[in-house]
Chains A and B, each alone.
Chain A
């Protein structure tokens, strides 16, 4: 029994059906515990005041925005190499989730920046990279929806995802070169665990796990939807031929 057997659409539907409620449930649990803990029971930061509470949304969303793209990249590679349909569909299913995470990260970042940096938007390398990531997600989704033949769409979007990844990384470093950042580096960082005190760190870890599980649950759900849509199409095609 190899790992790849789980990628058979039928098998995938069978094993995800019982797993999905558990993933969704634990995602809901982690998110509510983490967010309620973070929102109600953490002290204010001595420098940022109560805005530190935004971190419980901003950091996990940013994390998932990048990881969603990474997951799409891996799924695209698997599709190109091994041609498992589920893999291509999972990449397609992940894109809307990823773009939502990117939007959340951008929106919360802007709202946090307005009192702390005194501006909603600044052309800072990290913010700029996220904006570019957003554009990449848009292009990726637009290409999926523009092509009718599913296999062609899967192939072309996978190629775009590979090339896009290279250019996303390039853009990130180009943006760093282009403008000195306002975003926290290591010295002042809230992102680096060594600089965050446990009070903030513990609920943050829980929300990060929660966002991860939520992402997983949504991708599984959406992939199942995509598989069903594919099946409907196949059945229609068969009916027309008969």
Chain B
């Protein structure tokens, strides 16, 4: 398992692995928003939690189709399926690798971009915390979507159509936690519900992911 994780991480960091791509995309989306809505600081600080979360979501979406596609093409996914490691564990490892390469950097980049959007000072802790809790769930859900579409040649667009509705609960809770934090209210409830969604996804989706992979490898 560890070997697989290290291999995936190394592949992602190597040139062409798209390691920095998600992060750059996140940066650009967030920077584009003020151009769209105008430089009004009050308005920006109101919509900042939502923008940061939506941008994080899109950035996480960007690199999803890489999770299985390359392994599927060169046949190493088939090897993994016949290895003693169950496919359920493989999918968890894949999701973890995706999270380390995209989710985790996002958590640390988000506060910096918060400055640009005049995010209220109280909200930073909640922003980092909610992203830390929420993004593993996003990676797991995305891995499931990637497993569904791995056999398709043009899976990318379909993948986003399938995965984005699944992201809704996470987005609602995550952005709500930050918004409550910004308003100085207690944000424990949305944070806990966010944790529920993430943990639930990690508990259930590996089985669905593995099932989808087995179908696609048939």
Q: Is there a direct interface between A and B, measured as CB atoms under 8 Å apart in the complex?
A: yes
Given the known interface contacts A174-B173, A177-B176, A177-B193, the answer about A135 and B216 at a Cβ–Cβ threshold of 8 Å is: no
Cβ proximity bits B127-157 to A, threshold 8 Å, 1 near / 0 not: 0000000000000000010001101101100
Interface status of B204 (Cβ within 8 A of chain A): yes
Interface status of B29 (Cβ within 8 A of chain A): no
Please name the residue on chain A nearest to B218 by beta carbon.
A152
Query: A147 contacts which of B151, B176, B205 (Cβ < 8 Å)?
Result: B151
- Contact at B172–A142, with CB atoms within 8 Å? no
Please name the residue on chain B nearest to A179 by beta carbon.
B172
Pick out which of these stretches binds chain A: B8-16, B56-64, B158-166. B158-166
Interface status of B113 (Cβ within 8 A of chain A): no
Interface status of A181 (Cβ within 8 A of chain B): no
Interface status of B208 (Cβ within 8 A of chain A): yes
Interface status of A188 (Cβ within 8 A of chain B): no
Please name the residue on chain B nearest to A139 by beta carbon.
B162
Query: A156 contacts which of B148, B168, B204 (Cβ < 8 Å)?
Result: B148
- Contact at B158–A174, with CB atoms within 8 Å? no
Interface status of B197 (Cβ within 8 A of chain A): yes
> Closest approach, in angstroms, between the C-beta of B68 and any C-beta of chain A?
13
> Closest approach, in angstroms, between the C-beta of B210 and any C-beta of chain A?
10
A-B contact count (CB 8 A): 77
Interface class of chain B by DSSP: helix
Please name the residue on chain B nearest to A157 by beta carbon.
B148
Query: A174 contacts which of B161, B169, B208, B212 (Cβ < 8 Å)?
Result: B169
- Contact at A170–B169, with CB atoms within 8 Å? yes
Query: B212 contacts which of A135, A159, A171 (Cβ < 8 Å)?
Result: A159
Please, how many angstroms separate the alpha-carbon atoms of A94 and B200 in the complex?
Answer: 29
User: B161, B164, B165 — which one has the most chain A CB atoms within 10 A of its CB?
Assistant: B165
Interface status of B185 (Cβ within 8 A of chain A): no
Please, how many angstroms separate the alpha-carbon atoms of A171 and B168 in the complex?
Answer: 6
| Residues of chain B contacted by A20 (CB below 8 angstroms) | none
| Residues of chain A contacted by B190 (CB below 8 angstroms) | 177
| Residues of chain A contacted by B161 (CB below 8 angstroms) | 135, 138-139, 142
Please, how many angstroms separate the alpha-carbon atoms of A174 and B165 in the complex?
Answer: 13
- Size bracket, chain B contacts: 20 to 34
Interface status of B211 (Cβ within 8 A of chain A): yes
- Contact at B165–A164, with CB atoms within 8 Å? yes
- Contact at A152–B162, with CB atoms within 8 Å? no
> Closest approach, in angstroms, between the C-beta of B63 and any C-beta of chain A?
20
- Contact at B176–A142, with CB atoms within 8 Å? no
Interface status of A166 (Cβ within 8 A of chain B): yes
Given the known interface contacts A142-B162, A174-B169, A178-B176, the answer about A159 and B152 at a Cβ–Cβ threshold of 8 Å is: no
Please, how many angstroms separate the alpha-carbon atoms of A26 and B113 in the complex?
Answer: 61
Beyond A146-B152, A156-B148, A178-B176, 20 additional contacts (C-beta under 8 Å) are: A135-B165, A136-B165, A139-B165, A142-B158, A142-B161, A142-B162, A146-B158, A147-B151, A152-B218, A156-B212, A159-B208, A159-B212, A160-B162, A163-B208, A164-B165, A167-B166, A171-B168, A171-B169, A177-B176, A177-B190
Q: List 11 A-B contacts (CB under 8 A).
A: A132-B168, A135-B165, A142-B162, A146-B154, A147-B151, A147-B152, A152-B151, A164-B165, A167-B168, A174-B169, A177-B190
Chain B residues engaging chain A, CB cutoff 8 angstroms: 144, 148-149, 151-152, 154-155, 158, 161-162, 164-166, 168-169, 172-173, 176, 190, 193, 197, 204-205, 208, 211-212, 215-216, 218
